A and B are shown apart, each in its own frame.
Chain A
């Protein structure tokens, strides 16, 4: 790891246990014959400042759960509350606003836009907040410096290593100082050295006050997180933290 910038002024005071993600008896059923039910009654609360791993084998419902927490999908039943707002009751514009202002998401495949520079990719994280372009780029530069990529601002994703690309994606998730950052298998496309670097970065960011939920099948990665929630067949089978870090 290279230098980490000091925490932003919006970082929450340590010790205040404000819930940022609340799931209550959440079920997700996809219609079909037979219907598929990847999430079967999950109750989970993540409070501000936590570093949570949701761990489970493939097919355990991790990704669906992440999509529900990221307000990309609505539960079939139960309640999902993000930063105090219940997403089931919100319009598309409002849910999109919640994603733009309160949530940051990191994907296994990075999903960087190939013909934009690292800086512009990160600035895209603020595009749907309606901020002016200069302000977006200023914050994007800060976010890239925060993940140690201050020297790679103008590089296209194709000119970056896998680990660097994932750090650009993390900067994009962090750039708007969201209440919670959700990461879906962030180490899935990285070699072991880059994975170790990334885990160290996530830990460092958490120490600066970033609330992180990491979905992974890798128990090694999960063990590096403060709290592990184990998922199997769409249900929580073990939770080491219970919402009080």
Chain B
């Protein structure tokens, strides 16, 4: 009855989907930007939290690696006055014979010996600084570094000479040793021969002035009992050695002796840091959710406002699926825009914080891909309902409503 032939079904090229999906965004760029902002904030928060956590953890772990996990300390509890209690005189020598031990460095906190900048400082202003007698081997055992001057040696150990811990030097206001410097230690003048760098694994040394055992015995009343012994072990023997230390140090009262591994405290800090990030991740997720709702809201409004455009497209031959796809793509684009901006902002924040703290910038790949995937998922969910609503709209209603 007619020679027109069957009309082919309508078709939208995949390449056209993107430009069609941006028609609404290009018409209202401010609205598009604001609705993408919510998702951007959420993603930025998540990426920054993960990035900063990972960067700081990496820094701590690198520090721990550098310091080594094979350092052990042996103490005998504390006395009633808060001083470190005494260990047997031979403890240091005994520990040195345990197999797997590389270095042993006994130290003794000297009771009642205080440290002042000069003899004019009132005696109660001791600045919470301690005086410890130690062996020249201490520096090698702790793998410490001297900031200026030298460490104690067998010669200076015999004379009134002291090496100040990092914090002790700062408290006393001694920055350099360009001039000959003395401190008032235990009621007499001691020459300062060196200042140490901080010991992250032995912070108690940072607040101490170190003197040699011979001079401590001769002038400061040291009776020969060490109070804290540092032990450096073979790397693969640390756990085994740790179990032997208490019995070896004080065979009579091994239950009072505590052997500990200072690097464990730093490792615990790493764990504590990752625990606190879950709170911030939760906040980021809430921001993301609110951002997604914002996009859904804007899309629903867009569908209502663009009724006539939807009707026109249907009149030009768009099938329901084409209309749905257009709005879904628009929503996905909005969320992706937010996601990309969020990842960029989160990376920038991480880089800023890390460079201030002098950490290596580390952004976990999972944060980047996860952030973008989350944005896409949010866009898909937020766009689904508006897209279906647009597709269901009768073209005749859409064209009449003006």
Given A111-B312, A113-B309, A114-B27, residue A101 in contact with residue B400 (CB < 8 A) = no
- Interface 1/0 per residue, A96-133 and B, CB below 8 Å: 11111110010101010111100000001101111111
B275 at the interface (CB under 8 A from A): no
* Interface check B399, CB cutoff 8 A: yes
Contact partner, A127, options B3, B16, B320, Cβ 8 Å: B16
Instruction: Let me know if A238 is at the binding interface, CB within 8 A.
Output: no
Residues 1 to 39 of chain B near chain A (Cβ within 8 Å): 1-13, 15-16, 20, 23, 26-27
- CB contacts (< 8 Å) of A64 on chain B: these are 396
For the complex, what is the distance from the CA of A91 to the CA of B8, rounded to whole Å? 12
Interface size on A, residues (CB 8 A): 42
B16 and A109 within 8 A (CB): no
Say whether B23 contacts A113, CB under 8 Å: yes
Assess whether B13 is in contact with A18, with CB atoms less than 8 Å apart: no
Report which of B15, B26, B308 forms a contact with A111, defined as CB distance below 8 A: B308
Most buried by B among A85, A105, A129: A129
- How many residues of chain B get a CB closer than 8 Å to chain A's CBs? 39
Q: Which of B310-328 touch A at CB < 8 Å? A: 311-322
A-B contact count (CB 8 A): 126
Contact B308 A19 (CB under 8 A): no
Alpha-carbon distance A91/B313, docked complex (angstroms): 17
| Residues of A contacting B51 in the complex (Cβ-Cβ under 8 angstroms) | none
B4 x A84 contact (CB < 8 A):
yes
CB of A93 within 8 Å of the partner chain: yes
Given the contacts A127-B16, A128-B10, A72 and B27 also touching, CB distance less than 8 Å: no
B residues lining the A interface (CB < 8 Å): 1-13, 15-16, 20, 23, 26-27, 308-309, 311-322, 394-396, 399-400, 402
Q: Give A residues with C-beta under 8 Å from B.
A: 18-20, 63-64, 67, 70, 72-73, 83-85, 91-94, 96-102, 105, 107, 109, 111, 113-116, 124-125, 127-133, 172, 179
Enumerate 24 A-B pairs (CB-CB under 8 Å) in ascending A order.
A20-B2, A72-B315, A83-B2, A83-B4, A85-B6, A94-B7, A96-B318, A96-B322, A99-B10, A99-B316, A100-B317, A101-B10, A107-B315, A109-B402, A111-B309, A111-B312, A113-B312, A115-B26, A127-B317, A130-B11, A130-B12, A130-B13, A132-B13, A133-B16
Closest 3 CB pairs of A and B: A100-B317, A84-B2, A130-B11
